[in-house]
Chains A and B, each alone.
Chain A
Amino acid sequence: MLIIDCPFCGPRDEREFEYCGPYRKSRSDNMDDLSASDFIEYLIVPENPEGVGREFWWHKRGCGEWLLVVRDTKTHQILSTAEADAE
């Protein structure tokens, strides 16, 4: 079981969280600059690292914040947890 160190609530058990997919940056504001194929790639081609990767977790049964968790997909070790800011 993962223990996720929520920056707002402290270390909490995985049960309180919902996994919300791999990290991706916010959608571009200039959609006109983006070709259809680039946009589809943005939508559906995720990060799939064998090793350290970034992903979103939602502290659903806690503070309700979205977190950006850096986690190793081979060991499940969590390297860092931070607030997911809208970049």
Chain B
Amino acid sequence: MQKYSLYSLVRNSFTRHRNWSPAWINHDLKKSYDVIIIGGGGHGLATAYYLAKGYGVTNIAVLERGWLGGGNVARNTVTIRSNYLRQESIPFFIKSVEMYEGLSNELNFNLMHSRRSMIDIIQTYPKLREITRKMYTMDIFGSTYKPISVSEIRRRIPTLTGGGKDSRLPIIAGMVHPEGAVNRHDAVAWGYARAASSLGVEIHQNTKVNSLLKNDDGTIRGVSTVKGEIWADRVAVAVSGHTTQLTDTVGLRLPLRSFNLSAFVSEPVKPMIDVVVNCPDLGVYLSQTAKGELVIGGAPDPGQSFRRGTNQLVFERTVGAMLELFPSFKKLKLLRQWGGTVDIAPDASPIISETEIPGLYITAGWWGGYKAIPAGGLTFANLIATNTPHQLTKSFTLDRFKTLDYILEPGTTTRV
């Protein structure tokens, strides 16, 4: 791997930047691998990287249906945080946030990581009770959630002029989560791909997996792709919203439903919001990117969906909610919008688990999986390499559903 540094930048400028080596290498598809990872998104690439780096497994194929950085790793709002409610979730997300903070150095790739605090705006008393409970639980595990006054909220977010005493839902309280951060989604995908490729991992783009294959004895045999069959003793599914489409092909039924979650981006404007603002009562959250655009996220579409579009009703509700709090944003034009397919378990917590088919592993149910990419990859790699769950994700296996032992997690943007 060619190291990126000031020195390499200067040296390559003498040759007019024509001699940079490719960030990752394309290979021909082999007949068999030690591990096949389906899905070249954030979780798939991170899993491949940690398998190669930490467990010495390098004969890995990552199979991506489209192109790197084109799936859900690009279809999110890049919000990184660890303000969750459950004691099973919080340590996992703390680990992930910590890993993100050192990731630019580790991957030698500038992720443009920007720790900038997240401020939750509270407008109802039930929500206030919920986040107070969250504060105490987070405190046990070392994640920070501090109450701030309404005047302090308005000082830190000057554009927040709505939600006054006469409004429908006046702002009654706020919470600051200083660990909240944003970074650059493409860089996360490319950084992991480059680092994994340099360790010998093969990344195959435009290689859609049509189905999984089972041996006669019930163990996993491999996958059937558009480029033919490939075999491996261990197959890992990291495909976000399409998990059940693959597991159905070997008769494995999972408690997952797929939804469309959309986001909207405004035209770029001068810096005006330097925190991530989350308004759980109205169902909208936003942050300003380094380019100056506002990235606005809201609730999922009603009804299961694989459409990756935006729903007019969700759009109106999200933007309407934002304008209640930020009336001056009425003048902003929206430039882009996107939807991504995410799947969700009945308890809204993730699944990182082996399955009833020996050799088949899944990572799924990520509702807000972007923040979980480093720790998700690390723990999934641990599971694939050692066949035992990582300490941080031992609660997130499929076993919990056998006894309906739910980890109900209201720390996501959804109502389940």
- Structural contact, A55 and B404, CB atoms closer than 8 A: no
Q: How far does the alpha carbon of A49 sit from the alpha carbon of B343 in the complex, in Å? A: 12
B291-326: which have CB < 8 Å to A?
302-307, 309, 311-313
B70 within 8 A of A: no
- Structural contact, B401 and A40, CB atoms closer than 8 A: yes
A-B CB proximity, top 5 nearest: A19-B302, A44-B255, A1-B312, A48-B244, A50-B306
Chain B residues in 8 Å Cβ range of A19: 302-303
A75 within 8 A of B: yes
Q: Which chain A residue shows the least CB distance to B253? A: A45
How would you classify the secondary structure of chain B's contact residues: helix, strand, loop or mixed? loop
Q: How far does the alpha carbon of A19 sit from the alpha carbon of B415 in the complex, in Å? A: 12
Interface residues of B (CB under 8 A from A): 242, 244-245, 253-258, 302-307, 309, 311-313, 343, 346, 401-402, 404
Interface residues of A (CB under 8 A from B): 1-2, 14-15, 17-19, 22, 37, 40-41, 43-46, 48-50, 53, 55, 57, 71, 73-76
Provided the pairs A1-B313, A40-B404 are in contact, do residues A45 and B304 lie with their beta carbons within 8 angstroms?
A: no
Q: Which chain B residue shows the least CB distance to A21? A: B257
Chain A residues in 8 Å Cβ range of B254: 45
- Structural contact, B313 and A15, CB atoms closer than 8 A: yes
- Structural contact, B401 and A14, CB atoms closer than 8 A: no
Q: Which chain B residue shows the least CB distance to A41? A: B253
- Structural contact, A55 and B304, CB atoms closer than 8 A: yes
Chain A residues in 8 Å Cβ range of B244: 48
Distance (whole angstroms) from the CB of B301 to the closest CB of chain A:
9
Q: Beyond the given A14-B302, A76-B305, could you list 13 further A-B residue pairs with CB under 8 A, ordered by the A residue number? A: A43-B404, A44-B346, A45-B253, A45-B255, A50-B245, A50-B258, A50-B306, A73-B305, A73-B306, A73-B307, A74-B307, A76-B303, A76-B307
